[in-house]
Amino acid sequence: MKRSRSISDVFQSSLETGAAWLLAVLWISPLVYAFWAAFHPGEYAVNFNLLAPLTLDNFREALSQAPFPRYALNTFILVSTILVAQLVLCTLAAYAFARYQFRGHKIAFALVLVQLMITPEILIVENYSTLARFSLVDTILGIGLPYMASAFGIFLLRQAFKSTPKELEEAARLEGCGTMGVLWRVYVPLARPTYLAYALVSISHHWNNFLWPLIVTNSVETRPLTVGLGIFGAPESGVNWSVISAATLLSVAPLLVAFLLFQRQFVQSFMYAGIK
Amino acid sequence: MPAAILLIAFTHYPTVATVIDSLFSKATAIRPSRFVGVLNYQRMLDDPIFWKVLANNAWFALGTIPTSIALAILMALFVNRSIPGRSLVRMAYFTPTVLPMIAVANIWLFFYTPDIGLIDQIASWFGFSGHNWLGDPTTVLPAIMVMTVWKEAGFFMIFYLAAMQNIPPELEEASQLEGATRWYYFRRVMFPLLMPTTLFVLVNAVLNSFKLVDHLFVLTKGGPDNASNLLLYYIFETAFSYFETHFAAALTVVLLILLSVMALLQFFLLDKRVHYR
């Protein structure tokens, strides 16, 4: 009896493993396919011949048709500007919310949390006219500005700061640290995992953001990768398939490589940020 | 507080300004903008496209959310036990999440291309003839849903995985001793314990179904005949293609109301979640 059960157990678990792998293969196949198309000449796009010649022509073609390095640079500037501004602003705001009982702090915090629901993308129309008023349309700063005071960041960091023991702050004050010193020497180092989690989520979010940058930008000098790719891949531009695949891979490559290298941190960060 | 200024400038002020703007008429060269009351809303209610995109959004949410949640739970169950190559499998599930929607749409566009696209090629091996997946009003929304499920399931899996790892293993051992089948264990023990996660994921999924329209730019542009148009994309079109900012403002108000309802819902549901613990 016991024996037969263990056989059926083995059977069941290998069945499950098989199903898990099948789903995994199914899930990764679109990406694998993009690699296939990008590294082979156009006529092999739907012809899966293992002996098909490899080529880099598609990448060369994509690079010659659109300034992807420039787009990548823009994305890089955009993402890092946003991240630095977010870290500074959210740290200050989170510290205030975590440790000071100023008048109306509850209402103020609730107003911050409004942004969790009403993200800047939704208010595109009004935000655009605000930018136009400050003549920041078509600047990288303009793309980043609405995101810099991030409710999500304030929220996460506030949680982290609140769990920091007050005694540590008092000790630091006795040692002669000012408010900024306490923040920099006590709170920030202790919240390092939160910072990492937030940074990864922020980077991948802004690397991938499309709608708002599309509206704000209209020149090569400011366009991030996603918008560049969106214009490049538009059906009416009539570019061939393998070249589009190559361009797609070019624009996701940095993020994808980072993800593969730091897979564990990515998954944990998303988990951490999601659980709140 | 500089954070406060930016928040006010880009969240609170525009929210209020949108409501106010939605009450004014479009400014033209001869006539400046003037107060028109609820006229924009009246026009919205009479606008068949508005109802169309709203229905599309509802179908889109209904079609993608339960499927992605079910798949996410399945994936999390798979990866939660020790199977060979677990981290590779987990990576495969999660990868679509880190890719930008626009890149994903580019890849999938080719799958859906009539005749030469991958799906039609594979279908032709089995003797089916080509189909214009994105050009046919009846298949365009399902086609987009499939892609969205693919993109989102792995993201939701992460939350379930985290929740499952918090379930004490004694519970499963105990239920095995009691002779419960695994399905029974899942249905009566695990799934109820995952409820708070499900609520959290659900709210996020609904929000995403309203916020995520990037793929429409590449795949369909809302067409054919608005068959795949979603509310936020319609707002974009109205404001930046037809330059009807005031009408767009009225549409935005609808979106804001929908989101506020979601926010309240989440607030009360999350309250319940605390009682669970």
Contacts of B6 in chain A (CB under 8 A): 89, 145-146, 148-149
Q: Do A132 and A219 belong to one domain?
A: yes
What is the C-alpha separation between B252 and B248, in angstroms, rounded? 6
Q: Dihedral sign for Cα A174, A180, A184, A186, please.
A: positive
User: For the residues A215-242, what does the mean pLDDT come to?
Assistant: 73
Q: Do A45 and A72 belong to one domain?
A: no
> Is residue A39 exposed (0-12), middle (13-18) or buried (19+ Cβ within 10 Å)?
buried
Q: What per-residue confidence (pLDDT) applies to B222?
A: 67
**In angstroms, what CA-CA distances link B272 with A53, B164, B266, B276?**
59, 19, 10, 7
Task: Give residue-wise pLDDT tens across range B161-184.
Answer: 888 887 888 887 788 787 777 788
Q: Do A45 and A76 belong to one domain?
A: no
pLDDT at B6 over 60: no
Residue pair A35/B113 in contact by the 8 Å Cβ criterion: no
Phi/psi of residue B231, each to 5°? -55, -50
Chain A to chain B, count of Cβ pairs less than 8 Å apart? 229
Most B CBs within 10 A among A122, A141, A217, hence the mutation to make, goes to A122
Is residue A234 included in any domain, yes or no? yes
Q: Do A96 and A20 belong to one domain?
A: no
User: For the residues A126-154, what does the mean pLDDT come to?
Assistant: 78
Q: Do A81 and A42 belong to one domain?
A: no
Contacts of B95 in chain A (CB under 8 A): 27-28, 31, 256, 259
Q: Which two tokens stand for residue A44?
A: 């092999």
pLDDT at A264 over 70: yes
Is residue A176 included in any domain, yes or no? yes
DSSP secondary structure, A236-276, as one string = GG---HHHHHHHHHHHHHHHHHHHHHTHHHHHHHHHHHHH-
- Chain B contact present for A259, CB below 8 A: yes
Residue B274 confidence class, pLDDT cut points 50, 70, 90: very low
Q: Which residues contact A258 (CB under 8 A, 6 or more apart)?
A: none
Is residue A60 included in any domain, yes or no? no
> Within the 93-122 window of chain A, which residues sit less than 8 Å (CB to CB) from chain B?
93, 96, 108, 111-112, 114-115, 117-122
Measured in angstroms, the CA of A160 and the nearest CA of chain B are apart by 18
- Chain B contact present for A128, CB below 8 A: yes
Q: Do A73 and A47 belong to one domain?
A: no
Across the interface, do A149 and B74 touch by the CB < 8 Å criterion?
no
User: Which of A55, A79, A98 delimits the end of a domain?
Assistant: A55
Residue B36 confidence class, pLDDT cut points 50, 70, 90: low
Identity of the residue in A17, A207, A259 whose CB atom sits nearest the CB atom of B84: A17
User: For the residues A171-192, what does the mean pLDDT come to?
Assistant: 81
Using CA coordinates, name the residue in chain A closest to B254.
A122
Is residue A63 included in any domain, yes or no? no
> Within the 59-98 window of chain A, which residues sit less than 8 Å (CB to CB) from chain B?
89-90, 92-93, 96
Q: Do A173 and A266 belong to one domain?
A: yes
Q: What per-residue confidence (pLDDT) applies to B31?
A: 47
pLDDT at B28 over 60: no
Q: Which of A266-270, B55-59, B77-81, B189-193 comes out lowest in average pLDDT?
A: A266-270
Task: Give residue-wise pLDDT tens across range B84-140.
Answer: 777 788 888 888 888 888 888 878 887 777 666 667 667 667 766 666 777 777 778
User: For the residues A166-191, what does the mean pLDDT come to?
Assistant: 81
Q: What per-residue confidence (pLDDT) applies to A221?
A: 77
| Domains of chain B listed by start with CATH number | 48-229+266-276 (1.10.3720.10)
Q: Do A157 and A245 belong to one domain?
A: yes
Most B CBs within 10 A among A81, A125, A243, hence the mutation to make, goes to A125
Q: Which residues contact B102 (CB under 8 A, 6 or more apart)?
A: A208, A210, A226, A229, A230, A233, B214, B215, B217, B218
Going by C-alpha positions, the residue among B12, B253, B2, B252 that lies closest to residue A112 is B12
Q: Do A171 and A254 belong to one domain?
A: yes
What is the C-alpha separation between B83 and A18, in angstroms, rounded? 9
User: For the residues A101-120, what does the mean pLDDT come to?
Assistant: 74
Q: What per-residue confidence (pLDDT) applies to A243?
A: 78
Kindly give the residue spans of alpha helices, DSSP state H, lying in B27-139: 39-46, 48-80, 86-98, 101-112, 118-125
pLDDT at A146 over 70: yes
With H, G, I as helix, E, B as strand and everything else as coil, classify residue B35: strand
Residue B29 confidence class, pLDDT cut points 50, 70, 90: very low
Task: Give residue-wise pLDDT tens across range A13-66.
Answer: 777 788 878 888 888 878 887 777 777 776 666 566 666 667 777 777 777 777
Total-model pTM: 0.78
Contacts of A24 in chain B (CB under 8 A): 88-89, 92-93
pLDDT at B46 over 60: yes
Task: Give residue-wise pLDDT tens across range B208-248.
Answer: 888 777 777 777 776 676 777 777 888 887 777 777 777 77
User: Which of A55, A78, A95 delimits the end of a domain?
Assistant: A55
Q: Which residues contact A202 (CB under 8 A, 6 or more apart)?
A: A79, A82, A83, A86, A150, A153
pLDDT at B27 over 50: no
> Within the 187-226 window of chain A, which residues sit less than 8 Å (CB to CB) from chain B?
204, 207-211, 214-215, 225-226
Q: Do A24 and A161 belong to one domain?
A: no
Q: What per-residue confidence (pLDDT) applies to B17?
A: 58
Q: What per-residue confidence (pLDDT) applies to A219?
A: 78
Q: Do A44 and A16 belong to one domain?
A: yes
Q: Do A200 and A270 belong to one domain?
A: yes
The mean pLDDT of chain B is 74
Q: Dihedral sign for Cα B81, B84, B88, B94, please.
A: negative
The mean pLDDT of chain A is 77
User: What range does the domain containing A146 cover?
Assistant: 68-275
Residue B272 confidence class, pLDDT cut points 50, 70, 90: low
User: Which of A33, A55, A77 delimits the end of a domain?
Assistant: A55
Task: Calculate the dihedral angle through the C-alpha atoms of A208, B154, B144, A25, rounding to the nearest 10 degrees.
Answer: 110
What is the C-alpha separation between A10 and A2, in angstroms, rounded? 12
Count structural domains, chain A.
2
Rounded to 10°, the helix B48-80/B39-46 angle is 70
Across the interface, do B14 and A123 touch by the CB < 8 Å criterion?
yes
Q: What per-residue confidence (pLDDT) applies to B61?
A: 85
Q: What per-residue confidence (pLDDT) applies to B130?
A: 63
pLDDT at A173 over 70: yes
Task: Give residue-wise pLDDT tens across range B64-76.
Answer: 888 888 888 888 8
Residue A3 confidence class, pLDDT cut points 50, 70, 90: very low
pLDDT at A229 over 50: yes
Measured in angstroms, the CA of B268 and the nearest CA of chain A are apart by 15
Residue B14 confidence class, pLDDT cut points 50, 70, 90: low
Q: What is the CATH number of the domain that holds A114?
A: 1.10.3720.10
pLDDT at A172 over 50: yes
